[in-house]
Amino acid sequence: MVARPGRPWLPDRVIVPETPPTPTLYDWAGGHEALVELLTVFYRHVLEDPLLEPVFRGMAPDHPKHVAVWLGEVFGGPAEYSANHGGHAHMVGRHRGRGITEAQRRRWVTLLLDAADEAGLPADPEFRAAFAGYLEWGSRLAVVFSAPGAEPDPHEPVPRWDWPMPPWQPPPA
């Protein structure tokens, strides 16, 4: 080990223990295919639900896939919703004027959390905390955007969501 000139008390290099890079929530969830599966399961149950069926009965056939693309971008995957689906402004526009109620919001979140189990998304506490946190935040904003007279900023970017505290750690070997 060669001491640094001028600062002889410092070693010439510091050994940093190797830690694997933190995966994105998108990668940890299983990527695009896993999110499409999640949203397919979810909207099947939405259409069986008496509170939500009236809200979604006229939804576009591609709606589950589009929401999967949205979630993928939010969770650190490709910025595909921004590039090809109209970005944040389009998502906001799809909620405006719908007057989503708190009961509908809560059912929407509950069914999506149940769908995560059914679709086999990772069940570790860190991932599920991030997932549930985003759904809670995003669904409350959807209610705000859908309220009569709401005028959300159309220029906001698609949000990015990340791991909660405590930080992600590799699973025990």
Positions that interact with ligand HEM (CB under 6 A): 52, 55-56, 59-60, 63, 66-67, 70, 85, 90-91, 94-95, 98, 100, 104-105, 108, 135, 138-139, 142
Nearer to ligand HEM, 68 or 163 (CB): 68
- Our measurement of the distance from residue 3's CA atom to the centroid of its chain's CA atoms, rounded to an integer in Å, reads 48
Nearer to ligand HEM, 45 or 105 (CB): 105
SS3 assignment, position 4: strand
Nearer to ligand HEM, 52 or 121 (CB): 52
Dihedral over Cα of 19, 24, 28, 31: its sign: negative
Least distance from C-beta 139 to ligand HEM, angstroms? 4
- For 4, counting Cβ atoms within 10 Å of its Cβ (0-12 exposed, 13-18 middle, 19+ buried), the class is exposed
Dihedral over Cα of 143, 146, 151, 155: its sign: positive
- For ligand HEM, the nearest residue by Cβ is 138
Least distance from C-beta 2 to ligand HEM, angstroms? 54
Please, what's the b/e burial string for 86-100 (b: 16 or more CB within 10 A of its CB; e: otherwise)? Answer: ebbbebbebbeeeeb
Confirm whether residue 90 is marked as ligand binding: yes
Nearer to ligand HEM, 23 or 113 (CB): 113
Q: Provide the annotated binding site for heme.
A: 90
